Amino acid sequence: MATVWGVLVEAQRLPWSFTPFERVGPLEFGMTHDQVQAAVHGALSVAVSQGTSGSDGWAEFWPERRTDASFSGPAVTTYYDESIGLAGIAVNALRGPQVTLEGMRLVGQTPSRLEDEFTDYLVAHSRELRYSQCADPCSPQLGLVLRAQRAGDVVLSRPVMVAKAWADRCWDTSEGRIPTREWKTFEW
pLDDT digits (tens, 9 = 90+) for 39-59: 999 999 998 888 765 557 999
Q: Which residue type is seen at 54? A: G
Strands of the sheet with 98-101, listed across from one edge: 27-28, 23-24, 15-19, 98-101, 104-105
- Residues 38, 30: Cα–Cα separation, whole Å: 14
Across 114-133, b (16+ Cβ under 10 Å) vs e yields bbeebeebbeeeebebbebe
Instruction: Give the per-residue pLDDT at 5.
Output: 79
Of 184 and 15, the structure prediction assigns the larger pLDDT to 15
* Residues β-bridged to residue 163: none
pLDDT band at 103 (very low <50, low <70, confident <90, very high): very high
pLDDT at 85 exceeding the cut of 50: yes
pLDDT band at 67 (very low <50, low <70, confident <90, very high): very low
User: Are 187 and 94 within 8 A, CB to CB?
Assistant: no
Neighbours of 38 (CB within 10 A): 11
Cut 0.85: pTM above it: yes
pLDDT band at 73 (very low <50, low <70, confident <90, very high): confident
Q: What percent of the chain has pLDDT over 70?
A: 91
Instruction: Give the per-residue pLDDT at 65.
Output: 66
Q: Which residue type is seen at 49? A: S
Across 48-83, b (16+ Cβ under 10 Å) vs e yields ebeebeeeebbbbbbbeeeeeeebbbbbbbbbbbee
Instruction: Give the per-residue pLDDT at 158.
Output: 97
pLDDT at 61 exceeding the cut of 60: yes
Instruction: Give the per-residue pLDDT at 59.
Output: 95
* Residues β-bridged to residue 77: 60, 90
Across 161-184, average pLDDT: 94
Across 93-122, average pLDDT: 97
User: Are 171 and 184 within 8 A, CB to CB?
Assistant: no
Question: Mean pLDDT over all residues of the chain?
Answer: 91
pLDDT band at 1 (very low <50, low <70, confident <90, very high): very low
- What confidence tens digit (pLDDT) does each residue in 124-145 have? 999 999 999 999 999 999 999 9
